[in-house]
Amino acid sequence: MKAANIRKPHTLAFCQEVVSGGKPVHVPHEPLAGAEENECFDVVPEALKAIGGEQVFGWAIWEWPRVMIEAEFHTVIRTPDGKLLDVTPRPVGFRKIAFLEDPNRRYEGRQVDNIRKALRSDPLIERFIGLAHRHYELLNEGDLADQHGVIEAPEGLTEVENAMAELGSELVRKYGASR
């Protein structure tokens, strides 16, 4: 996935579905050295101690061109001079992310499923989105909803991940890579 183009009509329309009246912006990505990847809700409070400013909740907006657009619940920093900054390390480096502030959201210690939308009518894409939702459900069933870090794989997770990998490969062959 890559940061969505915030000038594209489909991105703006999707953002309106996620946060009514919201407008996506580009936010520089300057990962905090030594911080854990993808753990924004732990990284940002730590970074605020050194940088100052305030925590801002919202959605990172990602796109797999020609396939789907996705909103990931995320948090960034608003620096004392008012600039937004993404300090959370990711496995793939980005210079900037697309971010949609959501004044109605707060982190409550539990995962929030991504919001996904197909960019075209294709049963393969719909199945992939369905599997992504099932993946989230499996990782957050029952007591798992309150666990963080490494967990034991719940029953069925491997099958869902394998199906997603196969389907993902098929979508790459059909529409191109996600970056």
Look at residue 143 in the predicted model and tell me its pLDDT: 65
Look at residue 152 in the predicted model and tell me its pLDDT: 67
Give pLDDT tens digits for 32-84.
888 888 899 999 999 999 889 999 999 999 999 999 999 999 999 999 999 99
- Find, among 62, 77, 67, the residue nearest to 6 by Cα: 62
Structurally, how many domains does the chain consist of? 2
Residues 141 and 84 both lie in one domain = no
Residue range(s) defining the domain that contains residue 19: 2-101
Q: Which alpha helices (H) appear in the chain, and where do they start and end?
A: 9-18, 40-51, 123-139, 157-175
Residues 130 and 91 both lie in one domain = no
Residues 95 and 12 both lie in one domain = yes
Residues 76 and 126 both lie in one domain = no
Look at residue 22 in the predicted model and tell me its pLDDT: 93
Is residue 144 scored above 80 in pLDDT?
Answer: no
**pLDDT band at 93, cuts 50/70/90?**
confident
Residue 68 lies in a domain: yes
- pLDDT higher for 38 or 20? 20
Residues 62 and 90 both lie in one domain = yes
Look at residue 96 in the predicted model and tell me its pLDDT: 95
Residues 54 and 127 both lie in one domain = no
Burial status of residue 145 (CB atoms within 10 A of its CB: 0-12, 13-18, 19 or more): exposed
Give pLDDT tens digits for 97-114.
999 999 999 998 888 999
Task: Give the C-alpha separation, 179 to 177, whole Å.
Answer: 6
Count Cβ atoms below 10 Å from residue 52 Cβ, excluding itself.
Answer: 12
